[in-house]
Amino acid sequence: MRAFIFPGQGSQSVGMGSALAAASPYAREVFQEVDDALGQHLFKLMSAGPDSDLMLTENAQPAIMANAIATLRVLEREGGVRLADKADFVAGHSLGEYTALCAAGAFDLPTTARLLKLRGQAMQAAVPVGEGAMAAILGADRDKAQAIADAAAEGEVCTVANDNDPSQVVISGAKAAIERAVPLAKEMGAKRAILLPVSAPFHCPLMRPAADAMADALEKVTLQSPLVPLYANVTAAPVADPAMIASLLVEQVTGMVRWRESVLAMVAGGVHDFVELGGKVLGPMVKRTAPDATATSVVTMDDIEALLKAL
């Protein structure tokens, strides 16, 4: 069995999608459709920067999605591949969950772009700049990372945000608490902790205003049943019911991304082949979590052609 998986924030970089757009009209079509939906020249920003603008959450989220969907569109149109024929499940890391749902036909592309633009804006607005932070705890499992977060909290929000793989967990919360956690991590047995260059403390209770904004937005859009089930971030379990998916997308804004558990659950469910579209971040996480699984990251035309031979 196979899962198509889609990356989250942090996989953006200036130049993303440019080579694909130069090589395929189907990729250009996706980027134009996203530009039209947002009323901005997002692809120009993806291609040429500046990096400071692309890093903004409201731009990074739809850009990462557009790049992944363009990769899938080329695979489908030029390779004659249908997702429903080649994938048994989809999953995405944080914003990648929206990409996964778009890939599986639950959201159309313009709706996905607009939802992610709004999600980025709402997440940024939820906590004033400079009041929240995130840090990666390396060489620690989730329990150890949570113990570090608890020790650093001192009454402030500080909790596990992303359980990525057995050796990488991200914590999120009030800036002062996260800054206390960084030196504490090594003292408490982690290899090290690194402050992340993010503009807001994602996936923690401080994001409640953004969750409310997404609840309102999701009530106003059409969400179809996906062509294949989605492994949801907050449950690490498959879901196909549109109402339940919408509820989980809201919960995801403040909830933990249970990526390690999702990978293990997919493997336990029979998935042995993971294909990451539009990034090179999740594949290594999969391998660190499930060393016996196959993980392929697909970004370039050469990657697409190699995948087509393997499918």
The domain that holds 177 is classified in CATH as 3.30.70.250
pLDDT of residue 10: 84
pLDDT of residue 130: 87
pLDDT of residue 241: 98
Residues 105 and 228 in one domain: yes
pLDDT of residue 197: 83
User: CA quadruple 219, 279, 7, 295: dihedral positive or negative?
Assistant: positive
Q: Is 93 a catalytic residue?
A: no
pLDDT of residue 224: 97
pLDDT of residue 287: 97
Task: Measure the CA–CA gap between 6 and 148, rounded to whole angstroms.
Answer: 29
- Strand 230-231 to strand 238-239: parallel, antiparallel, or no bridges (unpaired)? antiparallel
Residues 282 and 267 in one domain: yes
CB 256 within 8 A of CB 250: no
| pLDDT of the chain, 311 residues: tens digit per residue | 999 999 998 889 999 999 999 999 999 999 999 999 999 999 999 999 999 999 889 999 999 999 999 999 999 999 999 999 999 999 999 999 999 999 999 999 999 999 999 999 999 999 998 899 999 999 999 999 999 999 999 999 999 999 999 999 999 999 999 999 999 999 999 999 999 988 789 999 999 999 999 999 999 999 999 999 999 999 999 999 999 999 999 999 999 999 999 999 999 999 999 999 999 999 999 999 999 999 999 999 999 999 999 98
Burial of 296: CB neighbours in 10 Å, binned 0-12, 13-18, 19+: middle
Task: Measure the CA–CA gap between 224 and 237, rounded to whole angstroms.
Answer: 19
The residue count of the chain comes to 311
Token pair, residue 73, equals 């569109």
**Closest to 227 measured CA to CA, from 82, 94, 114:** 82
Q: What are phi and psi of 187, to 5 degrees?
A: -60, -35
For 167, the 3-state DSSP assignment is coil
Residues 92 and 211 in one domain: yes
Q: Which of 47, 203, 262, 297 is catalytic?
A: 203
Residues 175 and 46 in one domain: no
Q: Which of 94, 172, 262, 297 is catalytic?
A: 94
For 260, the 3-state DSSP assignment is helix
Q: Looking at residue 28, which CATH number applies to its domain? A: 3.40.366.10
Q: What is the pTM of this model?
A: 0.97
pLDDT of residue 129: 83
Boundary-marking domain end, from 148, 180, 198? 198
Boundary-marking domain end, from 156, 178, 198? 198
Q: What residue numbers bound the domain in which 93 lies?
A: 2-126+206-310
How many domains in the chain?
2
Residue type, 131: E
Q: Is 199 a catalytic residue?
A: no
